[in-house]
């Protein structure tokens, strides 16, 4: 079982084998919860869409992002 050390600023590094198994990449969002005496990190899937800097964004892209965001806020998904 991999171990991590808490840094002076209370940060940890997620081991490569764990990141790989869960598909965690730079910029991903993780939720943090406490279950008993354990800290549980979970990768949050399907956040609101983002667009890379420099990419041309069309009207259709914006419309799809708005629909997705509205659906998420109304349905609570």
pLDDT at residue 36 in the model: 96
Q: Tokens at residue 1, please?
A: 């079982």
Number of domains in the chain: 2
What is the model's pLDDT at position 48? 59
Residues 56 and 27 in one domain: no
Domain that holds residue 55: 47-77
Q: Of all helices (H) and strands (E), which one includes residue 60?
A: helix 59-75
- Tokens read off for 71: 């659906």
What local confidence, expressed as pLDDT, does residue 65 receive?
A: 77
Do both 31 and 51 map to the same domain?
Answer: no
Residue 65: CB partners within 8 Å, gap ≥ 6? 48, 49, 51
Per residue of the chain (77 residues), what is the pLDDT tens digit?
889 999 999 999 999 999 999 999 988 889 999 999 999 999 887 655 666 677 777 788 778 877 777 766 666 55
Q: Tell me: do 37 and 24 sit in the same domain.
A: yes
Find the largest Cα–Cα distance for the chain.
Answer: 48
The whole-angstrom separation of Cα 10 and Cα 6 is: 5
pLDDT recorded at residue 66:
79
Residue 30 and residue 51 in one domain: no
- 26 shares its domain with 57: no
4 and 30 inside one domain? yes
- Here the CATH number for the domain that contains residue 17 is 2.10.260.10
In the block, tokens 């940060």 appear at 11
Global pTM exceeds 0.85: no
């Amino acid at each position: 079982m991999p171990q991590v050390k808490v840094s002076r600023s209370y940060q940890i590094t997620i081991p490569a084998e764990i990141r790989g198994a869960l598909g965690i990449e730079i910029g991903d969002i993780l939720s943090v919860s406490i279950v008993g005496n354990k800290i549980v990190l979970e990768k949050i899937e399907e956040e609101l869409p983002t667009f890379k800097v420099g990419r041309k964004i069309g009207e259709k892209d914006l419309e799809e992002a708005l629909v997705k965001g509205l659906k998420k806020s109304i349905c609570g998904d």
